Chains A and B, each alone.
Chain A
Amino acid sequence: ETGVTQTPRHLVMGMTNKKSLKCEQHLGHNAMYWYKQSAKKPLELMFVYNFKEQTENNSVPSRFSPECPNSSHLFLHLHTLQPEDSALYLCASSQGLLGGGNTGELFFGEGSRLTVL
């Protein structure tokens, strides 16, 4: 139990569907992250939020839309995805942004395994 909860753990969707991934952290952290983990590729940072404000969008296609209503919750809204978007999506949180007092410990959820048909 890391204090970061992701739902759903598994999701299968068609290319025309709209779905959302949810992440909640119970650690009192200020920064939250979405990472994409694909087979045989390094983890890819997608988005970073600090105190609900987006601080990084790593050139992610617009079919992925993040939302951070407060420091404890992070969503990833999905629409018109492609089969190559199938991956494990990992949410993480940290006490602050790296370099701003936090030197790199991220707390990860167990991930949401997404399959796009």
Chain B
Amino acid sequence: AQSVTQLGSHVSVSEGALVLLRCNYSSSVPPYLFWYVQYPNQGLQLLLKYTTGATLVKGINGFEAEFKKSETSFHLTKPSAHMSDAAEYFCAVSFSGGYNKLIFGAGTRLAVHP
């Protein structure tokens, strides 16, 4: 069965520090991988996605993620955190072949302090 695990429900960093949010997936077929962000009182917004090709994917707001098949991981990083990055981040996976739904991880809440 396919699943997504996000390590750490809460992550706290200082402004200017590296952001690292971890995501591991389980899949028997090649996955499509995503990171979504949810700001308070808003819906989810796509940050970036991996489908095929280059394994290092760049997204909005300076975030990037690298697909590592051998580690079944898709960790999200940003070199320097900004206060406005405080939000909840969701990793998600879908699959080719007509499968029509995203499977979401439980989310990681990122806090950024001065």
Q: Which residues of A are in contact with B by a Cβ distance under 8 Å?
A: 2, 4, 31, 40-43, 45, 48, 50, 55-56, 90, 92, 97-100, 103-106, 108-111
B61 within 8 Å of A (CB atoms): no
Q: Which of A2, A56, A110 contacts B100 (CB 8 A)?
A: A56
B36 to chain A, nearest CB (A): 8
Q: Which of A43, A45, A98, A99 contacts B90 (CB 8 A)?
A: A43
B94 touching A104, Cβ below 8 Å: yes
| Count, A-B residue pairs, CB within 8 A | 71
A98 touching B100, Cβ below 8 Å: yes
* Docked complex Cα distance between A90 and B44 (Å): 9
B101 touching A98, Cβ below 8 Å: yes
A106 touching B46, Cβ below 8 Å: yes
* Docked complex Cα distance between A45 and B98 (Å): 16
A60 to chain B, nearest CB (A): 13
Contacts of B95 in A (CB 8 A): 99
B92 touching A104, Cβ below 8 Å: yes
A48 touching B90, Cβ below 8 Å: no
B41 within 8 Å of A (CB atoms): yes
Q: Which residues of B are in contact with A by a Cβ distance under 8 Å?
A: 4, 9, 32, 34, 41-46, 49, 51, 90, 92, 94-107
Contacts of A92 in B (CB 8 A): 43-44
Assess A105 versus B106: contact at CB under 8 Å? Given A97-B100, A98-B94, A110-B42: no
B106 touching A56, Cβ below 8 Å: no
B104 touching A42, Cβ below 8 Å: yes
* Docked complex Cα distance between A92 and B90 (Å): 15
Contacts of B97 in A (CB 8 A): 99
Contacts of B32 in A (CB 8 A): 98, 103-104
Assess A100 versus B98: contact at CB under 8 Å? Given A43-B90, A43-B104, A105-B49: yes
A104 touching B107, Cβ below 8 Å: no
A42 touching B44, Cβ below 8 Å: no
A96 to chain B, nearest CB (A): 9
* Docked complex Cα distance between A78 and B54 (Å): 45
* Docked complex Cα distance between A31 and B101 (Å): 11
Q: List 8 A-B residue pairs with CB atoms under 8 Å apart, sorted by A's residue number.
A: A40-B9, A45-B102, A98-B94, A98-B101, A99-B98, A104-B102, A106-B46, A109-B43
